[in-house]
Homo-oligomer: A and B are copies of this chain.
């Protein structure tokens, strides 16, 4: 077990650190490396052995967020069945990553450079394609652009994660809240 380098329980430790870092940074985005370490139950030295610095940590969180989003998009099978059902599946799959997403959403440091991670563009593209498919099939209205609907979805996910974390609404309402508002809006449907 000498030359294994990274592997074995290293991976789960690293993942655990990322999870707790995400949870902490979502609440307090200015948390110190020391606080992040304490939150993960390790020392600052060990944290620094896993991630070269704060920058590397945030990048790793971004990579994790992208991976989870992409996995959710895959699992939701966006091109099968009615577009609105695909949206429901997507929100369901992405729900567990919403906290992490909310953190990354506020970390505009990630987007100010001209070289933003292409993973986001790919995810944006796939979700926008879903909305476009819904428009083409006549399910969705065409006066709201796919790009805006995609952005609004992420915004609502972040708002939802935030409002759940603040305790204002129950976690079990997360999916219904977001899907119903995004698809149906606040107005009552006409009783036909």
Q: Which residues of A contact B (CB under 8 A)?
A: 27-30, 84, 87, 105-106, 108-109, 112, 131, 134, 138-141, 143-145, 147-149, 151-152, 154-156, 158-160, 162-163, 168-169, 173, 176-177, 180-190, 192
Partner pick for A143 among B139, B145, B160, B176, CB 8 A cutoff = B176
- Chain A contact surface mostly: helix
**B152 A27 Cβ-Cβ under 8 A:** no
A181: B residues at CB distance < 8 A? 144, 148-149, 152, 182, 185
A-B contact pairs, 9 of them (CB 8 A): A28-B109, A140-B186, A140-B187, A141-B187, A144-B181, A148-B168, A148-B169, A184-B185, A190-B192
A143: B residues at CB distance < 8 A? 176, 180
